[in-house]
Homo-oligomer: A and B are copies of this chain.
């Protein structure tokens, strides 16, 4: 299958592109390199030293013989996007190409406006390009579990059957996002649902949990294929961040009580979920929503697990309780449904001590690259 991976140079996009390529799909990458420029802006870096996108695909070609074409440009440029669609004629369009950090979106007004326009306009352009150039193309769009917020009822997959005053309907699941970034994904979801209903587009919206891990089978084939690993307070996600903090002897930065519960998955499951969605596409006109995660943990649970594993490796990791830099519920009900992908064959990689130990070992290897100033949260809301 011809698959275009937008954002294919990023933390999720790169291993996904390799995995799909390795599964025999004909993969092309569209990427603006924006993620790398945000490292420059924030004076931050990937813990792992990553090659240029050109080198990455050249190494992949050398090792596997498989070709991945690169299209460098931005989804917010419609002319560029049309040209890519014309040249690639994708059957599936995997869309990772958004600004994906909540703290980045909350830096100030400019970053909020940038995040919302970048994400919403990019996705609008994708909708229009598919409609204009490849109406059968299946759009696989990355959303986030954070779109739902923390309701006091079970979180269903995209829709909720409601009985009210003696009548019944199945309605879009109400959204209560907690940052300008999460809001942008909610806006996307509404736009996509409209495009399916109105123009018969086929879309799978993957409400992804927080991704941890680093390696996949493909990224381990060569050091030059290594995935990026974010640890700073802006782009680093909880578990990876804790592991790096343990490695450098920094307190694990738990925000508030740490009782906040979130949905998680291993990067190895992210790539498999995209494959499942691509190979079992949504129907024409269907706006299909999968909750893409495998387990849920409280933030404090994760910190304690990291602390224990670190101790086994001779590292003394303290749990530091920070005033929560965010306005969010700390004590809340959390139960989210994730059966759709399981039913389609996902076999979760669970968070075992071995998994934690393996990430920690990679992290220790690169720990001298950590820029310590970036570890503590500076952005509050």
B-contacting residues of A (Cβ < 8 Å)? 78, 109, 112-113, 116-117, 120-121, 124-125, 128, 151-154, 160, 162-165, 167-169, 171-180, 183, 186-187, 190-191, 193-194, 197-199, 327, 333, 381
Which residues of chain B are within 8 angstroms of A165 by Cβ–Cβ distance?
A: 153-154
Residue picked from A168, A174, A177, A178, most chain B C-beta under 10 Å: A174
Which residues of chain B are within 8 angstroms of A176 by Cβ–Cβ distance?
A: 171-172, 193
- Smallest Cβ distance from A108 to chain B, in angstroms? 8
Which residues of chain B are within 8 angstroms of A163 by Cβ–Cβ distance?
A: 153, 163
Query: In the complex, A194 Cα to B184 Cα: how many Å?
Result: 12
- Smallest Cβ distance from A325 to chain B, in angstroms? 12
- The answer, among B172, B178, B333, B381, for a CB contact under 8 Å with A174, is B172
- Smallest Cβ distance from A149 to chain B, in angstroms? 9
Known: A121-B117, A153-B162, A174-B160. A167 touches B333 (CB 8 A): yes
Which residues of chain B are within 8 angstroms of A187 by Cβ–Cβ distance?
A: 116, 120, 183, 186-187, 190
6 tightest CB-CB pairs across the interface, nearest first?
A152-B169, A171-B174, A109-B128, A153-B164, A187-B187, A198-B327
How many copies of this chain does one complex carry?
2
Which residues of chain B are within 8 angstroms of A197 by Cβ–Cβ distance?
A: 327
Query: In the complex, A113 Cα to B78 Cα: how many Å?
Result: 11
- The answer, among B172, B183, B333, for a CB contact under 8 Å with A191, is B183
- Smallest Cβ distance from A207 to chain B, in angstroms? 15
Which residues of chain B are within 8 angstroms of A109 by Cβ–Cβ distance?
A: 78, 124-125, 128
Query: In the complex, A165 Cα to B194 Cα: how many Å?
Result: 28
Which residues of chain B are within 8 angstroms of A160 by Cβ–Cβ distance?
A: 162, 164, 174
7 contacts between A and B (CB under 8 A): A116-B120, A117-B121, A120-B120, A172-B174, A172-B176, A183-B194, A187-B187
Which residues of chain B are within 8 angstroms of A178 by Cβ–Cβ distance?
A: 194, 198
Which residues of chain B are within 8 angstroms of A116 by Cβ–Cβ distance?
A: 120-121, 124, 187, 191
Query: In the complex, A164 Cα to B117 Cα: how many Å?
Result: 35
Which residues of chain B are within 8 angstroms of A120 by Cβ–Cβ distance?
A: 116-117, 120, 187
Query: In the complex, A109 Cα to B78 Cα: how many Å?
Result: 9
Query: In the complex, A153 Cα to B168 Cα: how many Å?
Result: 6
Evaluate contact between B175 and A172: CB separation under 8 angstroms.
Answer: yes
Closest to A167 in B: B153
Which residues of chain B are within 8 angstroms of A121 by Cβ–Cβ distance?
A: 113, 116-117
